[in-house]
Amino acid sequence: MASRERAPKQELLAADGTPLKAALRRSQTVERRRAFMLVAPLLFFLLIVFVVPIIAMMWRSVYNPEIRNYLPQTAAALQDWEGQDVPPEPVFQAMAADMIVGVENRTIGRAAARINREIPGARSTVMRTARQVDEWSAPYREKFIEADEDWTNIEFWRILKRESRVVTPTYYLLAVDYEYSSEGEIVPRSEVYQVYKQLFWRTAWMSVFITALCVMLAYPISYMLATQPTRIANLLLILVLLPFWTSLLVRTSAWIVLLQQQGVINELLVALNIIDETGRLRMIYNRTGTIVAMTHILLPFMVLPLYSVMKTIPPSYLRAAKSLGAHPFRAWWRVYFPLTIPGLAAGCILVFILAIGYYITPALVGGDSGIFISNLIAQNMQGSSAQLKLAAALATILLVAVLFIYWLFNRLVGVDKLKFG
């Protein structure tokens, strides 16, 4: 039987006569462009006030232009020096030329301050010599050494050569309590100066501890809110939200009044003869004060996600489990608790990230043993001895640590499963 010839398929057309597929693609392109234009102001805003400052901070943490900019001839001359003996005459001649220019441009002080960060006391050596060098003539090597014996210090020249690099990991080494030795090897800093690594660990474990305390306190509060009648639940929820309507400084200052040795709590304990006058508890300006105050401040951030999830769980689930013979705790653990995990996980990640970067409360009530790494970052940004590059390195490490924790949390729990309300 002869096979029938199939008629060719006619391409579907739009109302204007164009192929339907092309018309759909054009329509989708227009919708994408329109959607992009709607979010473009927000993207531009985030780029300007968030992404660009972070990139600038990370670049500043490794950017080291002072020696190269203020002592350019010396930096170039030191590239051929092997670092085994006092540099030859061309290096001192280059240093003299840079000093003369630096005194005229008033930049020699900046170069001296940068060298002084690596070798304490070097600033006076540089500035004292710079005031005399314009009166000298070649050869300069002997005149430098006669002016100050520190110019024979090989370590000084090695550090000067090392710090003439424009990009350097020096500040990241300092941020984890390491440094370069005079031979250029990476070695631990003296124990007297090892503070940053300890502060990073303290910030991490205290943030975890505060998050755990918030979970312990927020879970029963959220459960009570979710199981109460609507009118009572709304009233209690207002009490939970009330701290948001009070200044953070006021709340922190209130804890100072409560926890200090002459404060309300100690006075009450003395009045009840629980402790005597000589045994007053020291609960402020230490870790205890930081933990108590921050737990109170961050507790609503745990309550709200938990409450939003618990409110959607029908009470009949627990009743059904109990009616089938489950112990109340087993019914709660096997039925109710798994349903609250999205809100619990959301509260944990929210409280932990807020806690690890907190600044005001530890600064006010933390004392020496309760401050966080954020307080040291701020300290390195302020004052006459501000070290912005070191602060940028510390902040970058903190940022990378938080991003890593977020990535790990996403792998283990899944951010798409969280419920914030």
How many domains are contained in the chain? 2
Does 60 reside within a domain?
no
Domain that holds residue 310: 196-417
User: 126-167 pLDDT, tens per residue?
Assistant: 999 998 888 888 888 999 998 888 898 888 898 888 888 888
Which tokens sit at 409?
Answer: 């949390």
Residue in 386, 420, 351 with CA at minimum distance from that of residue 207: 351
Q: What is the mean pLDDT of the chain?
A: 87
- Which of 7-11, 204-208, 213-217, 291-295 bottoms out in mean pLDDT, i.e. has the lowest? 7-11
User: 179-212 pLDDT, tens per residue?
Assistant: 887 777 888 988 888 899 999 999 999 999 999 9
- Taking phi over 0 as left and psi of -120 to 50 as alpha, with beta for the rest, 273 belongs to left
128 and 203 in a single domain? The answer is no
User: 70-88 pLDDT, tens per residue?
Assistant: 999 999 999 888 888 889 9
282 and 361 in a single domain? The answer is yes
Task: Give residue 2's pLDDT.
Answer: 46
390 and 295 in a single domain? The answer is yes
Task: Give residue 15's pLDDT.
Answer: 61
Beta strands in 114-161 (DSSP E): none
Spatial contact of 204 and 225, defined as CB atoms under 8 Å apart: no
Specify the higher pLDDT residue, 249 or 208: 208
202 and 113 in a single domain? The answer is no
* pLDDT, mean of residues 266-271: 90
* pLDDT, mean of residues 356-368: 90
Residues whose CB falls within 8 Å of the CB of residue 338, separated by 6 or more in sequence, listed in order? none
Does 47 reside within a domain?
no
Does 5 reside within a domain?
no
347 and 204 in a single domain? The answer is yes
